[in-house]
A and B are shown apart, each in its own frame.
Chain A
Amino acid sequence: MSEGGAMRDQWYPVGMTKQLTAQGRDTMLMGEPIRVALAGGAPSVTDGTGRALPVIDRFGHVWTSLGQPEKDLFTIPEVDQPGRRLVDVGVCRVRCSPLRAVENFLDIAHFPFVHTDILGSEPHTEVARYEVEIRDDVDEVWATKVKFFQPQAAKSAEGGITTDYMYRVCAPTCSVLYKTCPPKPGEWDVIALFVQPLTETLCDVWPYMALYDDDAEMTDLIHFQQMIFVQDRSVLENQLPALLPLDPGREIPTRADMTSIAYRRWLKRHGFTYGAQLVAA
């Protein structure tokens, strides 16, 4: 079996569309060298042998696969709503498993300690019970009714508020979160995390946002999100083992980790094990 198993047939982000050049950019996907370029005005991706790989241009990013994807890349219907600002944050390279990067994105309990006085603060550390399910019809992990107190939930937030969240895992290395939108009550800001697995322990993280924020400068929005990811990186590069353990026993979850538990279960069910650790049977 080829390296990557079932994950070979999934879609992955490999660059920002607006940054493409005819000359192209060399990068990696699941341990294999690839080149992402602009050919005849359209994005193209080739592997190390020059073979053309499938391409999708969506959410401002180029997506490809080393295998044969059965499904179209997921959609995020909210990004097409009028009035949203679409923000490509750029890339953040992290020396960690791509699956650990996604799991960290699904986690709220770390906010007071890793994003102190921004996304969380002591003594507001309690994680209230929320709901998690694997939705079989769309084959996605969803966490809903997530609530957390945040001193500064977004660039547009003044002072502390209790923020509502929903999380969605729509691909093995992609997640979308919906959160309370301070300037537009009743609507959700959308923040997505697209992770490019370079190897099992190295990834490029491409955050993407669709916000209702009319006032902030684009560079401030980008800077805010980059600051958050740099703080996450200091944790992600220091977890042992580097690979995400999919079998119980190696790590100890609590009720606050229900999303993470469902994510690991969903990965294991599908054989999405690139970047994961399985105890030999």
Chain B
Amino acid sequence: MGMMGAACSDPCASAPTPDTGDTVPTDWTPAALSDDIPVASAAPGQLGPHDLAIWRSASGRIAAWADRCPHRGMRLSHGFVRGERLSCIYHGWGYGEGGQCVRIPAHPELTPPEAIRVPVFSVAEASGVIWVAEEAPDGPPPEFPGVVAFRSLQVSAAPEALAAALGGTGTVIETVLGGAQVVALIQPLRGGAAGLHLLAPEGSDPAALDALSAEVEALRRRVEAAEEMTA
């Protein structure tokens, strides 16, 4: 597991053109939308078999850590953010840069040993999407010009079935949905489910976004119904 987080929240100036109907060329996995993790908050996420605590510091720094406090196993995604630290909700143990424990409230005078450290994953933001990886990938995650992050849905169907319903294969699909040119990012989830992170055209008006929402929810119902039939 990568202990060093390669935080790259800098929207890169030269955005690579995405391949259509293909997987992401690097090892990044989309895990959430940037807007869904506001400043000074934490939320649960997934990467393969790993549970993640995805959180954003007061200064806006994004991080993805193992979702487990080393003290008593409490999920860190239930924790609270103060400044640049994520603290466990159970006993308030505070963790900073690199997942290092920096504060144990029951022993305020104690400097926590270096061994008390939460495993850290690589994380980067691009096009309003939070991408995660176990090892630091070679390059940044893809940028998608002309679209912005719109919304995420969880679908109780296999990623392949979701991709097929969107008229493509792989995990990055450019398609037309509800009359809009969209980018759909598919995240494999445990239990045969999939995350769908949808990017909509920049400057879409509210009515167009409402139509897109209705269309994608209908698509989810269709995919889940088909999945139930085959199950």
A, B co-complexed: yes
Contact residues of A: prevailing secondary structure:
loop
Q: Which of B51, B73, B75, B91 contacts A110 (CB 8 A)?
A: B91
The stretch that binds B, out of A157-165, A166-174, A252-260, is A252-260
Whether a CB of chain A sits under 8 angstroms from the CB of B216 is: no
Asked if A126 and B90 sit within 8 Å, CB to CB, the answer is no
Contacts of B67 in A (CB 8 A): 240
Asked if A238 and B105 sit within 8 Å, CB to CB, the answer is no
CB-CB under 8 A for A238 and B106, given A109-B91, A113-B90, A114-B89: no
Asked if B106 and A125 sit within 8 Å, CB to CB, the answer is yes
Contacts of B88 in A (CB 8 A): 113
Contacts of B151 in A (CB 8 A): none
Contacts of B74 in A (CB 8 A): 235, 238-240
Closest chain A residue to B116, Cβ basis: A252
Min C-beta distance of B108 to chain A, whole Å: 5
Q: How far is the CA of A234 from the CA of B88 in the complex (A)?
A: 13
Min C-beta distance of B94 to chain A, whole Å: 11
Q: Which of A107, A109, A234, A251 contacts B105 (CB 8 A)?
A: A109
Q: How far is the CA of A235 from the CA of B75 in the complex (A)?
A: 8
Q: How far is the CA of A17 from the CA of B74 in the complex (A)?
A: 35
Whether a CB of chain A sits under 8 angstroms from the CB of B104 is: yes
Contacts of A114 in B (CB 8 A): 89-90
Asked if B106 and A127 sit within 8 Å, CB to CB, the answer is yes
Asked if B91 and A239 sit within 8 Å, CB to CB, the answer is no
- Give the total of A residues in contact with B, Cβ under 8 Å: 25
Whether a CB of chain B sits under 8 angstroms from the CB of A15 is: no
- Give the total of B residues in contact with A, Cβ under 8 Å: 23
Min C-beta distance of B65 to chain A, whole Å: 13
Asked if B70 and A256 sit within 8 Å, CB to CB, the answer is no
Closest chain B residue to A113, Cβ basis: B92
Asked if A251 and B75 sit within 8 Å, CB to CB, the answer is no
Q: Which of A123, A240, A256 contacts B106 (CB 8 A)?
A: A256
Closest chain B residue to A108, Cβ basis: B106
Contacts of B92 in A (CB 8 A): 112-113, 122, 125
Whether a CB of chain B sits under 8 angstroms from the CB of A48 is: no
Q: How far is the CA of A181 from the CA of B103 in the complex (A)?
A: 32
Known: A126-B105, A235-B78, A235-B89. 16 other contacts (CB 8 A): A109-B106, A113-B88, A113-B105, A122-B105, A123-B108, A125-B108, A127-B107, A235-B74, A235-B90, A239-B74, A240-B67, A240-B74, A252-B115, A252-B116, A254-B71, A256-B106
A residues with a Cβ closer than 8 A to B are 107, 109-110, 112-114, 122-123, 125-127, 234-235, 238-241, 245, 250-256
Enumerate the 8 nearest inter-chain pairs by beta-carbon distance, A residue then B residue, closest first: A125-B105, A256-B106, A109-B106, A127-B106, A238-B75, A239-B73, A113-B92, A240-B73
